[in-house]
Amino acid sequence: MKILSGKELAGFVKERQAHQVSSITKTPKLLIIRDSDNPVITKYVNLKIRYGEDIGIVVEDYRANSSEDIAKRILSANTDNAISGIILQLPLIDKTKTDELCNLIAPTKDVDGLGKDSLYDSATATAILWLLTGYDITLTNARIAIVGRGKLVGAPLYRMFTDSNFDVTLFHRGDDLSSLINYDIIITATGVPELITGQMVRPGATIIDAGTASENGVLKGDVAASVRERNDLSAITPIIGGVGPLTVSCLFDHVIESSTKK
């Protein structure tokens, strides 16, 4: 069984990015805005801070105390020429404000690709494509299932796949998932620990687990441990180091691109 390590691929991307940043006169800057200290959110924010340090990009972690504070900081950053990219670290405490606040980010600085007018594709969805391509996973003629319709992964990835005329079906996490047994590739991003069980996965399937949740302080994915113990799968992402590292790489690609447009 092949282990789809995004961490390994991200290492090559990082080398290229460090070289790019060294040739930019004005140091790029990424602003991360969040309103939570949730362990999963903190983990990903810290990953981005360290990644930025490694390639020479400044990362500011802004901890907002309300939706109004988030909106104020976004509008200020939109007109700040020192800031190349802005991301709103999701999920927000008040999830009903997500679309409204993401759409406030200037399209040229929306490096996570979450606003309706963003100039960039979703970083996480793009990272999944990079991962599949990097490991020569063929999408043509494959039956693909996406579990989770979220703004970060499911919805944008479904659009990308349908635009490319791939055979893809989008499931909600509350749907009957027993039919996943009929699919060659399963991409899941719900944040529901161990949602995908062995009875849902056919031998020879490829699984991309982009779901992350914290359960009793332990990070878990959507895929049950019993699935990971099988030796009849074609490929699967690890619990840590799968999609995440490439998502960060893609995000910083967008920051670099944005900085060069000024």
Model pLDDT, residue 262: 55
CATH topology of domain 9-121+244-260: Rossmann fold (3.40.50)
39 falls in which pLDDT band (50, 70, 90)?
Answer: confident
Q: Within the chain, which residue ranges are assigned CATH 3.40.50.10860?
A: 9-121+244-260
pTM for this model (two decimals)? 0.88
Mean pLDDT estimate for the chain: 94
From the list 204, 160, 159, 196, the residue with the least C-alpha distance to 180 is: 196
The residues near 227 (Cβ < 8 Å, ≥ 6 apart) are: 196, 197, 198, 201, 207, 233, 236
Q: What is the spatial distance between Cα 73 and Cα 59, in angstroms, rounded to a whole number?
A: 15
Model pLDDT, residue 43: 84
Model pLDDT, residue 218: 74
Q: Within the chain, which residue ranges are assigned CATH 3.40.50.720?
A: 123-240
Q: Which CATH class is domain 123-240?
A: alpha beta
How does pLDDT run across 109-131, given as a tens digit for each residue? 999 999 999 999 999 999 999 99
